[in-house]
Structure 1
Amino acid sequence: MPIATLGAVVLECPDPVALARFYAAVIGGTVTSDEDSRWVDLTGAPGTPLAFQAAPGFVPPQWPRPDSSMQFHLDLTVEDLDAAEREVLALGARPLDTEDRKRSFRVYADPAGHPFCLCAC
């Protein structure tokens, strides 16, 4: 029997509301925040819940860098890689590794710099 269940994946960032809105536009859900917006939840989206926490002095991960780990990334499954790419770029994502168009995934950074992959289903 497991000791615990995964409650949420929490991303630290400089602007939790803005990053929650980015992911709400990508995966759906509703953005809810505490009184001072230092903690924001994305609820109602399918899958594991995401939350966003204000982190003063936040330094985004560097990808790829042999001297710096990205710590984690999100894999987001999509039906059409090209269409999904256009949409996430329009929302403020930036490409990190998208040159190999034959692969089943492409790597981007969200507006706060966290890496994520769009993966073909």
Structure 2
Amino acid sequence: MPLQMKLSAITLDCPDPMALAEFYQQATGLELHPKSDDEFAGLNGEDGLLVGFQRVADYRAPSWPDQIVPQQLHICFKVGDDLDGAEARLLELGAGKPEHQPHGTKARVFTDPAGHPFCVVRGR
């Protein structure tokens, strides 16, 4: 019988936890965890999921799509049908958009301010 586990947190390494938490807070509307500080910041997600950001000395951003520095983690967000609107807002918030876009019209790949790749996909 498999162990019954519930995902409770996802934590991303980064050079500036508060800055990355602010980016994702503005992008998602999630609430800043009250114990956030300069070493670890978090956002309270649905069903108790915490999205965390921890300071790492000598952080090296992923170099997606090549694997010189592997992506290590890939997050996807559903944004409804307005990929253009989502893209405009994410770029305004400081996201990057790599030239390589492997998903056609179904999804778009971006990088957060610390270099982590993530996707926005059509759907609810």
Where on the TM-score scale, by shorter chain, does this alignment land: which range?
0.7 to 0.9
Superposition pairs of residues 25-44 of structure 1, within 5 angstroms = 25-32=26-33, 34=35, 36-43=37-44
Pairing 1:112–2:118 present: no
Distance 1:106 1:33, change over 3 A: same
| Counterpart position of 1:5 | 6
8 Å contact from structure 2 (residues 83, 121) kept in 1:
yes
Partner of 2:89: 87
Deviates more, 1:74-83 or 1:31-40: 31-40
Number of matched residues? 120
Give 1:71 deviation, angstroms: 1.5
Partners of 2:37 and 2:121 lie apart in 1 by 35
Amino acid at match of 1:23: Y
Task: Compare 99-108 and 77-86 and name the one that shifted more.
Answer: 99-108
**C-alpha RMSD of the superposition:** 2.2
1:18 is matched with which residue? 19
AA at the equivalent of 1:2: L
Return the TM-score normalized by structure 2: 0.84
More strand by share: 1
Q: Offset of 1:112 from its aligned partner?
A: 0.6
Instruction: Give the unaligned 5+ runs of structure 1.
Output: none
Q: Is the 8 Å Cα contact of residues 93 and 111 (structure 1) preserved in structure 2?
A: yes
Identity %: 35
> How many Å separate the matches in 2 of 1:100 and 1:73?
14
